Amino acid sequence: MSDPFKQAEATRKVLTAEDGAEGRLDAWLAQALAGDFSRSRIKALIEQGAVSVNDAVISEPKRKVHPGDRIVVALPEPEDPEPKGEDIPLDILYEDDDLVVLCKPAGLVVHPGAGNWTGTLVNALIHHCGDSLSGIGGVKRPGVVHRLDKETSGVMVAAKNDIAHRHLSDQFADHGRTGPLERAYMAVVWGRPRQLRGVIDAPLGRAGDRTKRAVKREESDDAREAVTHYEVVERYGEKPDATALAARVECRLETGRTHQIRVHMAHIGNPLVGDPDYGAAFKTKANLLPPEVKATVNAFHRQALHAFMLQFEHPSTGEVMRFEAPVPDDMQTLLAALRTL
């Protein structure tokens, strides 16, 4: 194992504990290096033997700090990421030293995984960001704090460093309950929800297939809270009895479960147009449409879901930032056809 202290002086940080210093070493360093590393990253560095106190290597994060202690942190160079960078075009909405905001197209997988080890958003971000990635957990990779399904388009944010990653992760974990985080989606659904505005509060869990989800009873072992707010903003083919052939719905998430909007809308009887997993039983609805509209709907081969707005607090400046992703061409074509009903 290489000695982290046999590195160039430029890769070290040397600190002296001031008068009154106390508490755990990892907590003290987290405060002293708050602009550089998260506490979890510092704890890992201590356990790796990269921190010395008064010339003695310390491997216990809970070691106490005393006034006058000379603390040296050896900073290993971030490792190359396991996924490799790939020159995949990206639609960047905003970028700075801490984060990158982009509009993900439908068809692009976010993370490498079984069946998709290359050609993902992570591969694209590694190539695009290059040396501006200071590393997440010691690896030069983008910190993806939320996901969109492969066939869902829309705005996403990724962190470039540990501090930004932690700050953004905390916001997404809070789901905007105490902060400015907001996520809004546009969905095109079959029929029209009975209520034009409502809240779907239905726990979700696995549906046998590891990739699919279903509404579960609260007492189910894998049931996880899931809350979606929705509002009907446009109706297509509306009839005198207040029903409609389809509708455009705006959804806002109070939680962020896998396939949440897709499952919740299907649960209330209004699955997304084009959804192969939760709306397949409604494919015959297209037979009720005029031939031109039917052809357009049948040619739409993904769930009609677009994450059009994302708002969050910038991890360094504290500024509330709001981004909107334009509606992609395929969904514009679908909406234009439905508006002729």
Give me the active site residues, please.
149
Tell me the C-alpha distance between 191 and 245, whole Å.
5
Q: Which residue has the tokens 């000695």?
A: 3
Distance CA 118, CA 95 (A): 23
Q: Which residue has the tokens 């709306």?
A: 279
Q: Which residues of 298-315 are buried (b: 16+ CB within 10 A; e: fewer)?
A: eebebbbbbbbbbbbbbb
258 touches 285 (CB < 8 A): no
Furthest CA-CA distance within the chain: 82
For residue 146, the 8-state DSSP code is S
Token pair listed for 9: 């002086």
**Tokens 């509708």 — which residue?**
247
Residue 34 to residue 160: CA distance in whole angstroms = 16
Quick one: CA dihedral 166, 168, 172, 175, positive or negative? positive
Q: How many CB atoms are located within 10 Å of the residue 115 CB? A: 6
The residue written with tokens 């207040």 in the block is 242
Structure tokens at 17: 């504990």
By CB neighbour count within 10 A (0-12 exposed, 13-18 middle, 19+ buried), where does 318 fall?
exposed
The three-class DSSP label of residue 178 is coil
Token readout for 93 is 């909405």
Q: How many CB atoms lie within 10 A of CB 68?
A: 11
